[in-house]
Structure 1
Amino acid sequence: MGKTLRRSCAACAKAKHSCDLRTPQCSRCVKRSCACVYANEPLTSTSAPLGDVGHAFGASQASKSRTRPAALLTGSGESVSPDPSDMSLFFEAHVFDPFDSYPATNLPRLRVQGLMRHFLSKIAFQYYPLDLNPASNPFVTSWWPLALTDPALFHVSLQTASLDDELHASKGFPHSELLMKDSVSLLRHKIQHESLAFQNATMNAVITLAAIEHGKGNLHLSKVHIDGVKRMVTVRGGLTKVRETSPLTARMVAWVSMLVTGSPQFDTQDDAGQGDGVYAIPQWQYSISMETKNPKLVDLDGLGLDPIIGNIIHRLRSVFDLFQTLETPVILSTTDLHDLACFTLHRMLSLPPLIGQDSLATNTSECLRYGVSLYMFIVHGPTYYSHAHILHGLVLQLEYHLEPLFSLADVDYSLLVWFLTMGAVASAGTSEFQWFCARARAITINLRLQYWDEVERHLRSVLWLETTTRSLFQQVWEDMATLDSSVYRTAPRPLMSSEARD
């Protein structure tokens, strides 16, 4: 019997029953506890590339070449792609089957399968670039299996892939609009049933729609979705309870709601890790006395900082020390980095504006608040949804509070170098970059900075975590040197250390 003509296993064929062709046993053989033997292995479905919708399946090699995973941007700005062979094996083994066991849609079958592949080969890694391994990326291993069982989340997931595809095609958004209409309809149906309204899949769908509407400029609709998911979290008992069943849902809800609204929408746990708010990693709970009394560090205690901001920075220094200065440093996982960034940002950005008579202490505190927030976004990188909108607002706040410090005496120059660096990296490619570049000129002249490692020494004296983003900070200083030769002089390659020059 030819492969393309086989329709059932031997047992189902003998009994003249339809066979669902599942392996290693079809459902009927499982129920009857009998042997399930196929004349040929069950067929697997070949996915259609996005550009081939409406055409017959092409040759497999041509299809593979057009659907290679797109290059991905890591937090360091480096272009990284998942291993194509790993991705291909994963798709063939886990994604498609010949029985269309995914939720029904109003799109053509080939288009749906093309969008499924697009989501799993590109969108999943754009949403979560912290993990480029298809075997562990949470959007592949956690989100997608849930979407295959939930029509609303499935439609929303396809919509993210469709928006990306149609945006690049520049031919309108007919499929995305249809998927949006059906997504909203399916969600309304779920919300009307209490047993379905507060599921992880429902929350995943709602928070994704909030990001989609924000990206379209529909801020009111985005806020409606955010308000809805916040009520769901409350009914569930807080983010801690949500995290117990779906860490991905808890992380995404907290992070995306902050990005699209411009401010934290949830409280945090306390320093001891108690409470139902945004999660504090265990290392945060360690005593701040563990902070290394390093004479090379700027003494923050003498700056008159706001005590809450000072506490956050002291604890960050302690956490960073654990990951980079001990003889046997602890490994900072990508999820730890994500949780640490989310917690720190919620702590910093939930504080009210400082009002005080001491302009130096007040503005230094505010610069540290916004500078540290920018730093956490930089070392973390974009996740789930673009953080460009909130980043721009933080840059403007840093610029506003940094300007008065240049007219005051007794300002620590290392702090100024650190503030300017954070602002320059975060504003690269925008009009604000010129402002930070101009201020950097005065600082480099006063401090006679000539080489990158001299700049880096100042950065490390304030707050620094050794990551791959180091090259990003160095590149920005070199870019400023290109714009203005008096800002910074790069050393001949290879870059020498100051110790070697001495």
Structure 2
Amino acid sequence: MRRTLRRSCAACARSKHSCDLGTPSCSRCLKRRVQCVYANEPLTATAAPAATDLARLSPTLAAGSHFASVDPFESYPQTRLPRDHVQRLIHSFLHKIAFQYYPLDLSPQTNPFLVSWWPIALGDPALFHVSLQTACLDEELLAQRGFHTSELLMADSVALLRRKVEDSSLAVQDGTMNSVITLATIEFGKGNTAVAAMHVDGVKRLVNLRGGINAVRQTSPLTARMVSWVSMLIAGQPQFETQDDAGVGHGIPPIPEWQRELPATLLTDAPELSSLDVRNDVGNVFLRLRHVFQATQQVPFSSTRLHDLACFVIHRLLLSVPKAEAQPSSPHTESVRYATVLYMFIIQGPTYFPHAVIFNQILNRLVGHLEEAQQIPDIHESLNVWFLSVGMVAAAGTPHYPWFVERAAVTAKSLLLGSWDDALAHIKNILWLGTTHVDDLFRPHWEVALAAASHPESPDLEGCVLPSVTGSGFI
């Protein structure tokens, strides 16, 4: 007997009713207040135990010299690709792409692309095709033999997605938004910025239909995180508002640590800001962020919590950028703004896909404002060291790198900095997340600057190659 795939939940199948496949419950089960059970598997297949589903996601599944079937029940949507090719792409997505997209969590048991995204994709033909497409592009880029298969998957992805968007109940599903924002990253990676922007506009409309980005977060934190973050990277500026410091509003929420009561001494403990003309909105973000980082010295937070914090802080700071000449702002304010944004990008690292485009735009702005700010005397010593530290790490591999290193070398001489620990003492006075990973990102650049300070003839900074923090790759 030819095996077919279910297109309804168990309750709708028994009643022979059409099913909208809504998650976590279809509209019919929701109305009847009954449990909604959906497994996209052949009707002739026996039910697989939960342990089988876990094994399917385990990195130990494929063993030996031949590729092992990742799904003995073939419980995934049909495609136009041969079975072996689909199996290979599934394996690539589960074992490679999921961790490239979300390097913040390298555990197969908790990575959201495995425990949240993939189960949805198994029941959503559009998202399944889009997911295969990410793996296929990676495969084709390595092979350097053209993009025939990924273009076929793209055509099918768009056709399937168009059908979903035309149905109001399916259009607002998490899987639909996941599909649209992933297509946006693919088009952006190909250089099709206009098409990518069109997809971003589309997903913004879907988010609005759901009641805002925070409403989406209630059912799928991964979807909300990816949509808000990726849309910002593609557009070059935030596409969603943030909630206020108390967590009020429909926008991106602050993390719980952000909402803790600030100590009364917070402002008096920040002479580097009080002596400068820093705008209140930027100063508030900076001081709250410093307070959050200080709290993590006692109770470190997870990489996902850091991602949420970075998303909130970067959105908040970029949303308050003055509009041209209408709202003049001091160079110190803008230097604090853009250095803080870059610092959050640096300590988090690339997520979903490389952030090089927006990162370099912000770096260029920081350089311009620092050049202007340095014409004003009496900048706080530690703040200057922090600016140069962020700048060196951010500018690695760019023409701006020698500019930052040369100024860091001059500063090292004037402040008698003889080691990385001397520089770190100043950095900790300003803003610092104390982890081994962050330390390893900053230390090598100060070693270069200190070497330049101790040798006036100066090393060849143009030839000094330290790794970039913006990420690389297609998506």
Instruction: Return the letter of the residue paired with 2:289.
Output: L
Q: Write the distance in 1 (CA, Å) between the matches of 2:375 and 2:326.
A: 16
Deviation of the 1:461 alpha carbon: 0.9
Deviation of the 1:432 alpha carbon: 1.6
Percentage identity across paired residues of the two chains: 50
- Tell me which structure has the larger Cα radius of gyration: 1
Q: 1:239 to 1:280 in 2, by over 3 A?
A: same
**Deviations 1:219-260 (Å, cap 9, x if unpaired)?**
000000000000001110001110111111011100000011
SS of equivalent to 2:153: helix
Q: 1:185 to 1:452 in 2, by over 3 A?
A: same
2:309 pairs with 330, 340, 354, which one?
A: 340
Q: 1:313 to 1:24 in 2, by over 3 A?
A: closer
1:312 pairs with 266, 285, 290, which one?
A: 285
Task: Confirm or deny that 1:62 pairs with 2:65.
Answer: yes
The equivalent residue for 1:32 is none
Whether the 8 Å contact between 1:366 and 1:398 is mirrored in structure 2 is yes
The equivalent residue for 1:436 is 404
Whether the 8 Å contact between 2:388 and 2:404 is mirrored in structure 1 is yes
Deviation of the 1:103 alpha carbon: 0.6
SS of equivalent to 2:407: helix
1:458 pairs with 426, 441, 454, which one?
A: 426
Whether the 8 Å contact between 1:290 and 1:318 is mirrored in structure 2 is no
The equivalent residue for 1:472 is 441
2:385 pairs with 396, 417, 422, which one?
A: 417
SS of equivalent to 2:76: coil
Whether the 8 Å contact between 1:291 and 1:318 is mirrored in structure 2 is no
Deviation of the 1:291 alpha carbon: 6.2
Instruction: Return the letter of the residue paired with 1:374.
Output: L
1:150 pairs with 111, 124, 132, which one?
A: 124
Instruction: Return the letter of the residue paired with 1:470.
Output: D
Whether the 8 Å contact between 1:213 and 1:221 is mirrored in structure 2 is yes
Unpaired segments of 5 or more residues in structure 2?
A: 1-42, 460-475
Q: 1:108 to 1:366 in 2, by over 3 A?
A: same
Task: Confirm or deny that 1:230 pairs with 2:233.
Answer: no
Task: Confirm or deny that 1:20 pairs with 2:23.
Answer: no
**Deviations 1:347-393 (Å, cap 9, x if unpaired)?**
0011133779999x811110000000000001111111111111101
The equivalent residue for 2:106 is 132
Deviation of the 1:190 alpha carbon: 0.8
Whether the 8 Å contact between 2:272 and 2:383 is mirrored in structure 1 is no
1:164 pairs with 127, 138, 151, which one?
A: 138
Q: 1:357 to 1:405 in 2, by over 3 A?
A: farther
Alignment of 1:173-212 (within 5 A): 173-212=147-186
Q: Write the distance in 2 (CA, Å) between the matches of 1:440 and 1:125.
A: 36
SS of equivalent to 2:208: helix
Q: 1:278 to 1:249 in 2, by over 3 A?
A: same
The equivalent residue for 2:27 is none
Q: Write the distance in 2 (CA, Å) between the matches of 1:446 and 1:356.
A: 36
Instruction: Return the letter of the residue paired with 1:389.
Output: V
Deviation of the 1:484 alpha carbon: 6.7
Deviation of the 1:416 alpha carbon: 1.5
Q: Write the distance in 2 (CA, Å) between the matches of 1:229 and 1:146.
A: 18
The equivalent residue for 1:101 is 75
Instruction: Return the letter of the residue paired with 1:386.
Output: P
SS of equivalent to 2:278: coil
After TM superposition, the structure 1 stretch with the greater mean CA deviation from structure 2, 166-175 or 392-401, is 166-175
The equivalent residue for 2:463 is none
Deviation of the 1:294 alpha carbon: 8.4
SS of equivalent to 1:336: helix
Deviation of the 1:330 alpha carbon: 2.4
Whether the 8 Å contact between 2:174 and 2:223 is mirrored in structure 1 is yes
Instruction: Return the letter of the residue paired with 2:414.
Output: N
**Superposed structure 1 runs of 4+ greater than 6 Å apart:** 354-359
SS of equivalent to 2:296: helix
Q: Write the distance in 1 (CA, Å) between the matches of 2:326 and 2:218.
A: 45
SS of equivalent to 2:299: coil
Whether the 8 Å contact between 1:298 and 1:462 is mirrored in structure 2 is no
The equivalent residue for 1:273 is 247
SS of equivalent to 2:418: coil
Q: TM-score, normalised by structure 1?
A: 0.76
SS of equivalent to 1:416: helix
Task: Confirm or deny that 1:366 pairs with 2:342.
Answer: no
Q: Write the distance in 2 (CA, Å) between the matches of 1:323 and 1:481.
A: 30
After TM superposition, the structure 1 stretch with the greater mean CA deviation from structure 2, 476-485 or 344-353, is 476-485
Instruction: Return the letter of the residue paired with 1:352.
Output: V
Q: Write the distance in 1 (CA, Å) between the matches of 2:158 and 2:281.
A: 42
Deviation of the 1:182 alpha carbon: 0.7
SS of equivalent to 2:232: helix
Deviation of the 1:410 alpha carbon: 1.0
Alignment of 1:22-37 (within 5 A): 22-23=47-48
Unpaired segments of 5 or more residues in structure 1?
A: 1-17, 26-40, 48-58, 65-91, 490-502
1:351 pairs with 320, 323, 336, which one?
A: 320
Whether the 8 Å contact between 1:298 and 1:414 is mirrored in structure 2 is no
**Deviations 1:115-170 (Å, cap 9, x if unpaired)?**
10101111101111111000000000000000010000001001111111111111
